[in-house]
A and B are shown apart, each in its own frame.
Chain A
Amino acid sequence: AQRVTQPEKLLSVFKGAPVELKCNYSYSGSPELFWYVQYSRQRLQLLLRHISRESIKGFTADLNKGETSFHLKKPFAQEEDSAMYYCALSDIQGAQKLVFGQGTRLTINP
């Protein structure tokens, strides 16, 4: 079954420190993977998707098929990065849905 696991519910780092939010997935085919972010009092929005191979707000994520991971990284955290982050997998071969992880609440301390 398709599954997305984010092992950390809470992550707290200091401003300027590197950030890594972990995401592991279970999927039988070639996955379409995303990171969504929810800032305080805002709606959920797309941060980046692996197919685009781009850096958004300094964040990058590399798909590692061998380790079935899609970790989100940023070299220098900023206070405005504090938010809820969700890793998601698009199940295009099965039930045609987006499967979300449990989310990681990232707090950047000044």
Chain B
Amino acid sequence: EAQVTQNPRYLITVTGKKLTVTCSQNMNHEYMSWYRQDPGLGLRQIYYSMNVEVTDKGDVPEGYKVSRKEKRNFPLILESPSPNQTSLYFCASSLRVGAYEQYFGPGTRLTVT
């Protein structure tokens, strides 16, 4: 089944403790992206990747890192999480950017205390 998977689905952590949220797609998509969803703000893009080893900042990249060593994986790294990073995070992929449909993962709900 073609899909985007994320792990973990739920995470509660403390300020400053490094964490990684994994994202994987099995559709051989070139484009992958991370978003955060906050009430009243919709979805905001954190980072995106056009292909392997090609990543760039989105609208809200501060406090996040990403890597794209393989086409299928696009992990989101929070080196030192803070409470303002408490949010619902979505990974998405598409064949390319443009008129192509983006496929979303199920979301990861992160709470930083």
- The reply to whether B102 and A49 form a contact with Cβ atoms under 8 Å apart is no
- Of B42, B99, B106, which is within 8 A of A90 by CB? B99
What total of chain B residues lie within 8 Å of the partner, measured CB to CB? 25
A98 and B90 alpha carbons, distance in the complex (Å)? 13
Q: Which residues of chain B are within 8 angstroms of A96 by Cβ–Cβ distance?
A: 31, 48, 50, 56, 97
Are A100 and B43 in contact, with the CB atoms below 8 A? yes
Closest B residue to A100 by CB, please name it: B43
The reply to whether the CB of A57 lies closer than 8 angstroms to some CB of chain B is no
Q: Is the CB of A32 within 8 A of B44?
A: no
Q: Are A97 and B99 in contact (CB under 8 A)?
A: no
Interface check B75, CB cutoff 8 A:
no
Would you call A43 and B41 a contact (CB within 8 A)?
Answer: no
CA distance A96 to B98 in the complex (A): 8
CA distance A95 to B97 in the complex (A): 10
Residues of A within 8 A of B92 (CB): 44, 98
Say yes or no: is A45 at the interface (Cβ < 8 Å to chain B).
yes
Instruction: Write the residues of chain B forming the contact surface with A, with a CB cutoff of 8 angstroms.
Output: 31, 33, 35, 40-45, 48, 50, 56, 58-59, 90, 92, 97-99, 101-102, 104-107
Chain A residues with CB under 8 Å of chain B are 6, 9, 32, 34, 36, 43-46, 49, 51, 86, 90, 92, 95-103
